[in-house]
Each structure stands twice: as structure tokens, then as C-alpha cells.
Structure 1
């Protein structure tokens, strides 16, 4: 279930509304070309330029995870983003951003000097998200944890 909106205040708000109406199946993805009132943590807001960013929300129902295991979902999402960068952008190394010569997040277009097809980028990202979520749902958490620790910047380095 993929819902494309040319513009919306917040993909998360749309996904939450679909949940309240019991219209969001597992994996339902809301994606927009222009998010006009994006929300971050603790009330932070942010704006994204129209049709220049991946702005999406994915609905999952991880009922197979205990409350104490919820961080595994965050690990799966982080690894999916890393998988996407490594596969689709051709980045390599332990830290994908460092592979581009930067240590902080920035625009991929600025880093690479290329323009990207957002529909293709989103499709590849969703493939990576699905693969990691299925890994988690299948109970392969040991490998997930191992991959996550291996990807952490400066993990166990002085």
C-alpha cells in the first residue's frame, strides 16, 4: 500500500490518521513531494524543499517485539538507510558519510554533484527497509545487532 501525495503537512500525520481509521495495512507507506509542516522529536519542526527530498512514513505493526526489544526496530531502520546508501549510491566503508568525505549529514546532491530520481531513490530505500524489517520479523536479531554494532562510528575505538 503506497500512498503518494503531491504535498501534505506531515506524512506521519497522514499515516496516523490512516491508522486511526484502520486503513493502514502492514507496510503502508505515505510519501510526499512536499512536506509543509514536518515534525521532529520533542516538538521540533522542519521544512523540506519541494520535490528535493525523500519525505515518507512507513506503518509497521511489530507486535512480535516485546516492549524491551523496540530498539531493534530503530536498528533495523538505521541499517536499512545504510544499506540503501551502500547499494544505491555505491558508498563503501564502515561509515557511509565518511566514504563521501564528510562526518555530518548533508545533501547527497551536494556531496556527489548529481541529481537523483526521487521515485527511484524511494523505491530502493523501501526495498532496504522491507528487507531489514523482514529480517527482524523472522527473529534474526543476532545478525541485526551484529550489523548495527559493526556500523557504529568509532564503536569500541579509543
Structure 2
């Protein structure tokens, strides 16, 4: 494992993408930033993190063994790896808010942004970025955000948390390589936030509707039971689950 530590960078994902386009990057290369000035989340959202108090990390992973329609398994593996690592620190109420936000007791403590490098219409590699709130205690204008410290009252060593996450990632990446997709999907769906509970969604036009999360499709679309017993699939651009 090759680890690159940076004091400050605009985005660890952008740094790793530029590095991989300019030279050969070793599989499982890890980039860690003490401070990220322009972190990104899903759908172009901003990921804000207080300097020196959290984890902002990107990992380069060779995924050439996967087919294009298997790419959501990467997202499932990463979310499960983070959940599994946090359980070792006795973090309670852990859930995955589709597609890969990490929650503890309904509060967001982490997020994942995966950018795939495609070659000849096949996934070649993934740049897996994740942010995890460790010791930050104030989140201005983010009422649903929390951190490990706020949840437990303890101060954590970010390097220790990172090492446990990286070890967990190795395990779940091994499941990916074994193509244990059914096992990953089953585990992922068990951890889904609001599964089988009446939940409110907002569609791309801003309309609100109620439904029950049933699971995810192979492509990663959210399967929602709506009125008249119909199960409808939505991709990330079509719907958002409200807290």
C-alpha cells in the first residue's frame, strides 16, 4: 500500500485522478489530506471539513475485473467497509443512506464519492473518495451533520480510524474480486436507512411523495414501493430521500 500525505489540497479525488492520468499508479494507493479546500460530494455538492479534525481520503483501486453493469458493487463494498470499521469503535445506530452516505442515529457522519476511470467501455479503475467526521464539533448550517466525537463524547485518533477503515476496505475489495455480489447486496440492503419504513422522497421536479424502500437493483437504482403496490426504480438523478 502506497500512502501519500498532503497538508492541503483542493480535492484528494482530483489530485489522485491527475496523478493516475500522468503516470502509473500502484493499486490501492491512498491519498490523505489534512485539509481539503474544495471537497466534493454526490451530485456536485460540497464536502466541508474542518482542518485537522476529520478524514478526507481517496483510494485508487484497480477494478478492471468488473463489468460495466457491476460498478455499483464498488459503492456497496466501500459503504460496508466504512460501516464495518466504525462498528469496531462501538459507533451506534449505523446505517447507509442511499447510495452511500454514512449515518449514525440518523445523523450524517460520512460520505463517499466514487469516480470510475472507463477504458474501452469497461471500468479500469475507481478513485474512491470518502470523508468522515471525526473530531469536529460544530457544523454551521448543517443540522443533520455529526461526528464520532459528538456521538460518543470521545476524542479519536484519525490515523487509527483510517487504518481500521483501510483494513476493512481490503476485506470488502477481496469480496469484490471474488464477485460475491449477492453477499454484498444482501449486507448492503440490511444496512439501508429507512428500509421498509414510510419515507418521504423528492423527485427531480421538486415534487414530494411517500414510499417504502425495498432495496436496490443490480445497477444501484433505489427500489421504492409506492401507491397501488407498484415497485418503481429511481436513479440518483431522479430522486432524493429526505431525512
Answer yes or no: same fold by TM over 0.5: yes
Residues 1:91 and 2:100 are matched in the alignment = no
For the residue of structure 1 that corresponds to 2:155, the secondary structure is coil
Aligned equivalent of 1:51: 52
Cα RMSD (Å): 1.9
Unaligned regions of 5+ residues in structure 1, if any?
none
Residues 1:149 and 2:189 are matched in the alignment = yes
What is the alpha-carbon distance in structure 2 between the residues aligned to residue 112 and residue 91 of structure 1? 7
Aligned equivalent of 1:111: 151
Higher relative contact order (CA 8 A, sep 6+): 1
Q: How does 1:36-75 map to 2 (within 5 A)?
A: 36-75=37-76
What is the alpha-carbon distance in structure 1 between the residues aligned to residue 49 and residue 24 of structure 2? 27
Residues 1:102 and 2:100 are matched in the alignment = no
Residues 1:131 and 2:180 are matched in the alignment = no
Shift of 1:123: 0.8
Larger radius of gyration: 2
After superposition, what is the alpha-carbon deviation per residue over 1:19-77, rounded to whole angstroms, capped at 9, x for unaligned? 11123211111011111111223333233111111100011121111111111110001
For the residue of structure 2 that corresponds to 1:58, the secondary structure is strand
Shift of 1:101: 7.2
For the residue of structure 1 that corresponds to 2:9, the secondary structure is coil
What is the alpha-carbon distance in structure 1 between the residues aligned to residue 148 and residue 186 of structure 2? 27
The answer (yes or no) to whether the contact 2:91–2:148 under 8 Å persists in 1 is: no
What is the alpha-carbon distance in structure 2 between the residues aligned to residue 42 and residue 91 of structure 1? 27
- Please state which structure has a larger fraction of its residues in helix: 1
